[in-house]
Amino acid sequence: MRFDYVIVGGGSAGCVLANRLSADPRRSVCLVEAGPDTPPEAVPDAIYSDAFLPDYFQPYRYWTDLEAYTGALGNKSQAQVKADMKPRRYEQARVMGGGSSVNGQVLIRGLAADYDEWEELGASGWSWNDCLPLFKRIERDLDFATPLSGTEGRIPIRRTFPEHWSPFALAFRDAVGKVGIPYLDDSHQQTGDACFPFGRNNAYNHRVSAAAGYLDESTRRRPNLRILAGSTARSLTFEGRRATGVNVVTKGREQWIEAGEVILSAGALHTPALLMRAGIGSAEHLREVNVPVLCDRRGVGENLLDHPLIGFGVHLRDHGRLSPAARNGFLMHMRWSSGHPDCAPVDMKLTVSGRFAATRLGQRLATVNFGPNKAYSKGIVRLNAASPEAEPFVAFNYLSDERDLARFKSTARRVAGFLSTDPVSGFVNGFWPGIYAESLRNLSAPTAWNKLVTNVAASLLDLGGPARRMVLGAAVDRRFPLERTLADDATMEEWIRTGVQGDWHPCGTCKMGAPDDSYAVVDPKGLVYGVERLRVADASIMPSIPSANINLTTMMIGEKIADCIISA
């Protein structure tokens, strides 16, 4: 098979690219996705209807062998990290639509300053004024029609307004309002500190993924578009330094797909791994794993960014809970300025959920999660082995920058203050320093056993007294009792270092930059430096992390790179 463009990865950017590039019948396009397809007439009900993490951690939705190290790396080598730290599994989507098919349906653009920063970092043509028309092109806003709104795009955006929030979330909105953080209906209007309802890629209580929005039936019927789902890209092929195609495995059968140009849209963890296996990366590292060096680009796999977060678990009183009829548990989002002298304005985020999970137990619990929206700690992606079967080595290096830890501490105490006083405290039975432990993660899997366990736990919570204390005792990490954690700085730091996790927003590992930036991997058109006919278009090219969930920004990258190709 030969195509003008082979796109590796059917995630949020890949779906956009497949649609835009194949709109010209003179271009032949092949979209390769490792996970299952979700065609319009056969979207699984879990994806269509579930608000968050459908079919949680099942191998037909996620890369279940992918793990990540979260602790600060210091000067440790890759081997020392493996010896000293325990990895955590990492929830990375493996399905058409990528993260947009399994995430919390959060659609936030980020701030104008985020994209102006990209241009300052060498991504010429990616300023806010350049990117805003692309955001508007994507969106079909069901709630607003302002000069900042997109009204005719392929991805609907709607919000769950306060009339449908839980009393607990409403009280939190009122509490932050008293300290000067105003409420806005529309996050697109935010220029400073504010709280607002989440924008969501959702229409009429149904998820609209990038696959649903961009790979609709009319797009799929184009004779010049070929979609290969359930097909894993094993390697890239080259003649000299010119990319010629991709080796793909489908149902155990390997085939070579010849390409006029290869576009990697496999995400911030797998795209750098594909590049390194092809010999594009740090020469020193490639020699360590016995990969012949094609192009020495030391920025490949560097600059791994995420939104680290932690939070408090909350046991709600009956009158503070979200209605079971409400489909969306993500209610209030807040972005505000920490005031840290070495941090940008509006550098923090906080989320108030109405329930922990869509179970009887989860309906009695809420969370308040928080962390830096502009995190400064940077991690790495490396190869564990040259084999395409081996998942990459991923180390996020959370809290390696003092500014991130300091802001976590100050925010934890501030949030505890809100939870302990009126108007919020009237809806709270109790709260505790949260640890999203493996046992809690496992309870999210859709199994009959989990349903039984969570139903019994909910009944015990309702009994109160010793039964309630027993259930909460299983949820609370005994190392971090609330009063001591808030009062003792060392205990708080230990809690944060133990419990910190990412928000599943990896980006930055193949960053855009100017030709004289030795750590830049691609130019502002997504073309990989040092080779020919190879491009990257996904979250890995972000020079810095935006102050928002990155899904919408990733779709914007797909639009922008498609424009670069079409206008060439």
pLDDT at 438: 60
What pLDDT is stored for residue 278 in this prediction?
98
Q: Residue range 171-188: average pLDDT?
A: 98
Q: What is the pLDDT of residues 260-290, one digit of tens each?
A: 999 999 999 999 999 999 999 999 999 999 9
DSSP 307: -
Active-site residues, by number, are: 505
Confidence of residue 443 (pLDDT cuts 50, 70, 90): low
List the structure tokens of 181. 């953080």
Burial of 25 (0-12, 13-18, 19+ CB in 10 A): exposed
Question: Do residues 43 and 20 make contact, with C-beta atoms less than 8 angstroms apart?
Answer: no
Averaged pLDDT for residues 379-405: 97
pLDDT above 70: percentage of residues in the chain: 98
The reported pTM is: 0.96
Question: Which has more pLDDT, 50 or 235?
Answer: 235
58: left (phi over 0), alpha (psi -120 to 50) or beta: beta
- 234, 388 in Cβ contact below 8 A? yes
Tell which residue, 290, 269, 250, has the closest CA to residue 387.
Answer: 290
Which neighbouring-strand residues pair with 69?
395
Average pLDDT, the chain: 95
520-538: average pLDDT: 98
What is the identity of the amino acid at 51? Answer: A
Answer whether 142's CB lies under 8 Å from 190's CB: no
Among the residue ranges 14-28, 79-93, 119-133, the one predicted with the least confidence is: 79-93
Contact 158, 203 (CB under 8 A): yes
| Contact criterion met (CB below 8 Å) for 268 and 509 | yes
Average pLDDT of the segment spanning 365-381: 96
What pLDDT shows up at residue 154?
98
pLDDT of residue 440: 59
Rounded alpha-carbon distances, angstroms, from residue 314 to 6, 169, 288: 47, 12, 47
Q: Which two tokens stand for residue 334?
A: 């807040």
* Closest by CA position to 534, among listed 211, 126, 233: 233
pLDDT tens, position by position, 428-442 = 999 999 987 565 556
Rounded to whole angstroms, how far apart are CA atoms 440 and 464? 21
Burial (CB count within 10 angstroms: exposed 0-12, middle 13-18, buried 19+), residue 465: exposed
What percent of the chain lies above the pLDDT cut of 90? 86
Rg (C-alpha) for the chain, rounded Å, is 23
Phi-psi region of 328 (alpha: psi -120 to 50; beta: other; left: phi over 0): beta
Is residue 37 within 8 Å of 227, Cβ to Cβ?
yes
Lowest mean per-residue pLDDT among 187-191, 198-202, 238-242, 356-360: 356-360
pLDDT value for 297: 98
| CA 536 – CA 299 distance, rounded (Å) | 14
State mean pLDDT over 285-296: 98
